[in-house]
A and B are shown apart, each in its own frame.
Chain A
Amino acid sequence: MAERYTSFEPGGRRWLWQRLTAAFLVVVLAFHFFLLHFVNHADEVTFALSQARMEQLTYFSLMILFLVTATFHGVNGVYNALVNQGLTGTRKTAVKAILGLASVLLIVQGVRTALEWAGGVPI
């Protein structure tokens, strides 16, 4: 009988979301790097240029989705790495709560910044 090496819970769906977000992030992270380092150069960044991109609904919504999926994938990855190292019981619950709170704060701060550039939701 095969041993279970995974840190994901049996019957859970977090492993599936980790892979679905991975497939999305592979494309969007490569696009993000290419656009902001090769098409536009990082030393030419200004508020006005960031604003011009964020005022387009397609770009704005892609970046919000990028933020949410990257946060989930990263934080879920950290949680799994810690569980894999033997995190259990109360400490596991506490780490889960702290990582959940950190994720919410990161997404809220990211969305606030995007809205600042776009001057509200660009509909």
Chain B
Amino acid sequence: MSQSYNRGLIEDFSRWREFSAGMWAWIFHKFTGWVLVGYLFTHIAVLSTALSGAAAYTNTIQALESLLVVRILEVGLLAVAVFHILNGLRLLFVDLGVGLEAQDKSFYASLILTGVIVVASVPTFLSGVSI
């Protein structure tokens, strides 16, 4: 007989104080997934300015990249993408039967590694922008 993991009703977010590492991982993965799919549509819309000509595309990208708020949002996007990638790898390994016993530790490792990569990337993402 297969074993089940009783996660309770995770959709009831008012229970957040009782949530364990695995539940937070589930919520963060879902949240970052929504952000990334929203960004995918926005990204293609911005890139589509190439259909209006070379100058329209270059001017649009360079105007956006000159804004500090866009650079800060890009750092946020990096954080969301890196966490989704690292936690996604964690999920793939768990699906393959590897690391279920340490799933809480691998979630914390995903969070810490995301933080380190994002902090280390801040200078690159903010280079050349005027405040």
Contacts and interface: CB of A to CB of B under 8 A. Distances in A.
Interface string B67-100: 0000000100010010001001101100100000
A62 B51 CA distance: 20
B66 A43 contact: yes
Interface in B111-131: 121, 124-125, 127-129
Interface residues of B, number: 42
A19 interface: yes
Q: Is the interface of B mostly helix, strand, loop or mixed?
A: helix
A38 B3 CA distance: 45
B40 A71 contact: yes
B61 A45 contact: yes
A30 B85 contact: yes
A47 B57 contact: yes
Interface string A98-115: 000010001001101100
Majority secondary structure, A binding face: helix
Interface of B: 1-4, 7, 11, 30, 33-34, 36-37, 40-41, 44-45, 47-48, 50-51, 54-55, 57-58, 61-62, 65-66, 74, 78, 81, 85, 88-89, 91-92, 95, 121, 124-125, 127-129
